């Protein structure tokens, strides 16, 4: 299809142009058409102003100017810049360029006519313009009416050339352009058809048409993403036979009777859902979302026991060695008394021990295997795997999940556990292929963690409190934003805090330094020492964020707490308050600004991870928290999962409806592949 043909099929586009375009990632005609203009960067010629008229309020404005001179300098923030002075008949303005844009700016010649868009502010001698998008004028340009797109440029590309080629591609599209959405959906949502939308996103006749075109492509992307995820699930439902586990039997009864507590109502409900899924012949794809400390591990133990009870094997994959080791211990304590054989696969294992473990696994002499990414390796072969659990899933992607489930000739059940509370709309995008079980609250008998926010002045008092906890036989974490001192960042490092404590208040106390740059074995030894109570105070970084369980730890001090997001602080705080003693979390802010302190105060008031995650997003805004690629999903070109939440819900609903229609599968699969290509193919083919 012409869409996938190289750009050289367009008349007037030769090998040299193609090479320039390739630098910008444009290889095919389709790439060219999907090379959308920069966000909010269209030049509206009707808004052209004289320099004298430009408002100096920092908003984006458009004007023309003739280059007078260019000079380079070294700014106060230590950044090189190039300043270009331009003028029109009314006044002068200075354009500032940083980083790679400097080089282009340096090549500007006096007398050249420019079209300029940028943010205008007051300057020392002339108006100052930053975030400039400039374009050299030629005769034809000056005459062009309407709204013009501004494209991101690389290499030798220019706005004028890109516009010319995109017009050529649009002419090609006008001859024959397949629709990329089911016609019924286009009609139902009153979207512009694809050709109209493509024309209008590049060369909009007016702003309304541009908005509609953008909305269509946002919807299209999200709709096809949802279709892809649903398709993936449907396919593994339909084509690979799942394993039907039986109703609860003797082994499960034994495991349950051996638990040191009874399940809470929330746990019971989640377990019911999981257990019914496992008894179904369709493979389970379920995510268990539960706040830190909500008691997810025991649920995974029951699910694993169920697999074993039915004569199969199960595995659980954790993101770090420490966490895997801890799961191993916990699962052993829950499962071994009932006769389940649990094994641990680590990266640092000696070759002989590893060989032996893997042989036993293949022979079915190991029932449950615990490990990290090491589980995904080729030579890890099960006799008959029926359940794959992944813990703290935000670190694993769809592809990794697929690789794990491919270790069985049948489609094993999949259980994903996460403590990252993700608002529902996001969960739909990121986990669109999974059912969700939710556990709110905590098991009984655990006091809420008391959270206190202080500034630097209280440091000595906080240290005194630390010593009191240690003297009472408890343990503490001190979390720092950095490992070692940094010239650029004004924040306390784990190394310096460790030295300070060691030579001061904790002189006679056994404390240790633990951070992510240490070797796996070293970290593990320290963590084990802490878990065993041999180490009283652990000075560390966010490596301990995930899952470690030490009930005797009753105090956490977070240095430079203002540097962390609320959700992350909440995760960190979840490391204490795991026993029956009153626990404390002290947030030491390295700043006195009221905003920073008010932000942290939210943690004092709430222990609800879901509420905090929403607050976090409000405060930190879009895109900070999630990248889709991190989850193994294709990056989105134009949709934004934080901004377009309403569209996500609508797209999801329509995708479900659409796929339910007889015969819709193949059509939709083709559309999804056209949109996302290789990214989804790998998953489809599993
Ligand atoms: P997370 O959901 O963060 O993984 P864990 O599974 O580590 O939480 O559980 C946190 C703590 O709560 C553990 O010490 C666990 O033994 C305990 N726990 C779990 N369920 C219950 C329960 N129903 N009653 C009492 N304690 C429980
Ligand atoms: Mg956990």
Q: Calculate how far, in angstroms, residue 390's C-alpha sits from the geometric centre of ligand 1.
A: 17
CA gap 473, 553 in Å, rounded: 10
- 322 has a pLDDT exceeding 80: no
Best of 293, 320, 550 for a ligand 1 pocket test (most atoms within 8 Å of beta carbon): 293
CA gap 671, 179 in Å, rounded: 9
Q: Whose CA is nearest to atom 16 of ligand 1?
A: 295
- 125 has a pLDDT exceeding 90: no
Residues 6+ apart with CB under 8 A from 309: 245, 246, 248, 249, 250, 251, 252
Task: Tell me the pLDDT tens digit for each residue of 559-610.
Answer: 999 988 887 888 889 889 888 889 999 999 988 888 888 888 889 888 887 7
pLDDT given at position 536? 96
Instruction: Tell me 576's DSSP state.
Output: S
pLDDT given at position 300? 98
Quote the percentage of the chain above a pLDDT of 90: 41
The kind and range of the H/E element at 585 are strand 584-589
pLDDT given at position 574? 86
CA-297 nearest atom, ligand 1:
6
Residues 6+ apart with CB under 8 A from 333: none
Q: Whose CA is nearest to atom 22 of ligand 1?
A: 443
pLDDT given at position 195? 94
CA-267 nearest atom, ligand 1:
23
Task: Tell me the pLDDT tens digit for each residue of 16-37.
Answer: 889 889 988 899 998 899 898 8
Burial of 39 (0-12, 13-18, 19+ CB in 10 A): exposed
What is the chain's length? 686
CA-391 nearest atom, ligand 1:
4
Confidence of residue 623 (pLDDT cuts 50, 70, 90): very low
CA gap 218, 226 in Å, rounded: 12
Q: Calculate how far, in angstroms, residue 547's C-alpha sits from the geometric centre of ligand 2.
A: 4
Q: Calculate how far, in angstroms, residue 426's C-alpha sits from the geometric centre of ligand 1.
A: 26
Confidence of residue 456 (pLDDT cuts 50, 70, 90): confident
Task: Tell me the pLDDT tens digit for each residue of 237-290.
Answer: 666 678 899 998 999 999 999 999 999 999 999 999 999 999 998 888 898 988
- 686 has a pLDDT exceeding 50: no
Asked whether 114 and 65 are in contact (CB, 8 A), the reply is yes
CA of 331, nearest ligand number: 1
The kind and range of the H/E element at 251 are helix 250-258
CA of 299, nearest ligand number: 1
Average pLDDT, the chain: 85
What's phi and psi for 492, nearest 5 deg?
Answer: -80, 140
Q: Calculate how far, in angstroms, residue 570's C-alpha sits from the geometric centre of ligand 1.
A: 17
What are the structure tokens assigned to 291, written together?
A: 């706040």
- C-beta contacts of 2-11 below 8 A and 24+ residues apart: 2/29, 2/172, 2/176, 3/28, 3/29, 3/30, 3/33, 3/178, 3/674, 4/28, 4/29, 4/30, 5/29, 7/31, 7/32, 7/165, 7/169, 9/172, 10/165, 10/168, 10/169, 10/172, 11/168
Q: Calculate how far, in angstroms, residue 375's C-alpha sits from the geometric centre of ligand 2.
A: 18
Mean pLDDT value of segment 125-148? 73
CA-264 nearest atom, ligand 1:
23
CA-263 nearest atom, ligand 1:
23
CA-445 nearest atom, ligand 1:
25
- 98 has a pLDDT exceeding 90: no
Best of 297, 329, 393 for a ligand 1 pocket test (most atoms within 8 Å of beta carbon): 297
Q: Calculate how far, in angstroms, residue 451's C-alpha sits from the geometric centre of ligand 1.
A: 21
pLDDT given at position 627? 47
Q: Calculate how far, in angstroms, residue 284's C-alpha sits from the geometric centre of ligand 1.
A: 24
CA gap 262, 257 in Å, rounded: 9
Asked whether 319 and 375 are in contact (CB, 8 A), the reply is no
- 486 has a pLDDT exceeding 90: no
Q: Whose CA is nearest to atom 26 of ligand 1?
A: 443
Higher pLDDT, 434 or 194: 194
Burial of 362 (0-12, 13-18, 19+ CB in 10 A): middle
Q: Calculate how far, in angstroms, residue 493's C-alpha sits from the geometric centre of ligand 1.
A: 31
Least confident of 39-53, 85-99, 320-334, 633-647: 633-647
Helix (H, G, I), strand (E, B) or coil at 338: helix
- Say which residue the tokens 């049948």 belong to: 410
Task: Tell me the pLDDT tens digit for each residue of 404-453.
Answer: 878 887 889 999 898 776 666 666 666 666 788 888 877 777 788 999 99
Best of 443, 445, 550 for a ligand 1 pocket test (most atoms within 8 Å of beta carbon): 443
Q: Calculate how far, in angstroms, residue 619's C-alpha sits from the geometric centre of ligand 1.
A: 30
- 625 has a pLDDT exceeding 50: no
CA-579 nearest atom, ligand 1:
14
Least confident of 104-113, 498-507, 541-550: 541-550
Asked whether 210 and 638 are in contact (CB, 8 A), the reply is no
- 142 has a pLDDT exceeding 60: no
Ligand 1 pocket at CB < 6 A? 261, 263-264, 267, 290, 292-298, 419, 443, 445, 547, 549, 551, 578
């Amino acid at each position: 299809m012409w869409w996938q043909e190289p750009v050289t099929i367009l008349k007037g586009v030769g090998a040299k142009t193609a090479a320039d375009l390739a630098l910008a990632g444009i290889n095919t005609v389709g790439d060219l058409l999907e090379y959308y203009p920069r966000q909010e960067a269209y030049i509206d010629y009707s808004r052209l102003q004289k320099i004298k008229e430009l408002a100096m309020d920092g908003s984006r404005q458009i004007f023309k100017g003739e280059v007078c001179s260019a000079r380079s300098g070294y700014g106060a923030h230590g950044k090189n810049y190039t300043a270009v002075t331009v003028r029109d008949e009314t006044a002068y303005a200075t354009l500032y360029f940083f980083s790679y844009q400097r080089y282009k700016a340096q090549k500007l010649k006096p007398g050249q006519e420019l079209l300029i868009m940028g943010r205008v502010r007051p300057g020392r001698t002339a108006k100052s313009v930053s975030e400039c998008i400039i374009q050299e004028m030629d005769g034809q340009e000056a005459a062009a009416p309407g709204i013009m797109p501004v494209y991101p440029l690389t290499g030798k590309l220019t706005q004028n050339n890109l516009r010319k080629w995109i017009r050529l591609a649009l002419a090609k599209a006008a001859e024959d352009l397949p629709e990329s959405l089911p016609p019924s959906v286009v009609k139902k949502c009153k979207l512009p058809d694809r050709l109209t939308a493509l024309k209008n996103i590049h060369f909009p006749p007016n702003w309304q048409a541009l908005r509609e075109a953008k909305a269509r492509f946002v919807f299209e992307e999200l709709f096809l993403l949802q279709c892809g995820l649903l398709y993936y699930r449907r396919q593994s439902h339909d084509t690979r036979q799942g394993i039907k586990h039986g109703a609860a039997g003797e082994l499960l009864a034994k495991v349950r009777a051996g638990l040191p507590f009874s399940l809470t109502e929330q746990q019971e409900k989640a377990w019911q859902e999981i257990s019914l899924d496992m008894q179904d012949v369709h493979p389970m794809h379920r995510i268990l979302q539960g706040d830190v400390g909500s008691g997810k591990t025991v649920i995974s133990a029951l699910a694993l026991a169920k697999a074993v009870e039915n004569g199969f094997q199960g595995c659980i994959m954790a993101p770090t060695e420490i966490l895997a080791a801890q799961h191993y211990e916990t699962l052993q304590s829950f499962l071994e008394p009932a006769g389940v054989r649990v094994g641990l696969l680590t990266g640092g294992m000696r070759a002989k021990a590893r060989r032996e473990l893997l042989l036993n696994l293949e022979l079915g002499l190991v029932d449950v295997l615990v490990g990290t990414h090491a589980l995904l390796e080729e030579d890890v072969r099960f006799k008959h795997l029926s359940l794959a659990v992944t813990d703290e899933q935000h670190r694993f992607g769809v592809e990794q999940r697929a690789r794990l489930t491919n270790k069985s000739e049948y489609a094993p059940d999949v259980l994903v556990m996460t403590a990252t509370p993700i608002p529902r709309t996001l969960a739909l995008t990121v986990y669109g292929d999974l059912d969700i079980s939710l556990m709110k609250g905590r098991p009984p008998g655990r006091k809420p963690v008391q959270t206190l926010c202080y500034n630097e002045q209280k440091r000595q008092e906080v240290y005194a409190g630390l010593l009191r906890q240690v003297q009472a036989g408890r343990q503490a974490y001190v979390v720092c934003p950095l490992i070692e001192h940094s010239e650029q960042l004004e924040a306390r490092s784990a190394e310096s805090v460790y030295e300070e404590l060691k030579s001061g208040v904790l002189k006679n106390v056994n404390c240790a330094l633990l951070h992510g740059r240490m070797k796996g074995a070293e970290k593990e030894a320290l963590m084990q020492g802490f878990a065993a109570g041999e180490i009283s105070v652990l000075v560390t970084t966010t490596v301990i964020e995930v899952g470690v369980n030490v009930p005797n730890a009753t105090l956490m001090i977070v240095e430079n707490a203002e540097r962390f997001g609320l959700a992350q602080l909440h995760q960190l705080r979840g490391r204490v308050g795991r026993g029956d003693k009153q626990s404390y979390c002290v947030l030491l802010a390295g700043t006195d600004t009221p905003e920073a302190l008010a932000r942290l105060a939210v943690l004092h008031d709430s222990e609800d991870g879901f509420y905090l995650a929403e607050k976090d997003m409000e405060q930190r805004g879009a895109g900070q928290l999630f990248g889709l690629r991190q989850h193994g999903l294709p990056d989105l070109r134009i949709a934004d999962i934080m901004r377009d939440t309403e569209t996500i819900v609508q797209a999801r609903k329509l995708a479900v409806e659409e796929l339910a229609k007889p015969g819709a599968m193949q059509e939709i699969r083709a559309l999804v592949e056209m949109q996302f290509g290789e990214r989804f193919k790998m998953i489809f083919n599993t």
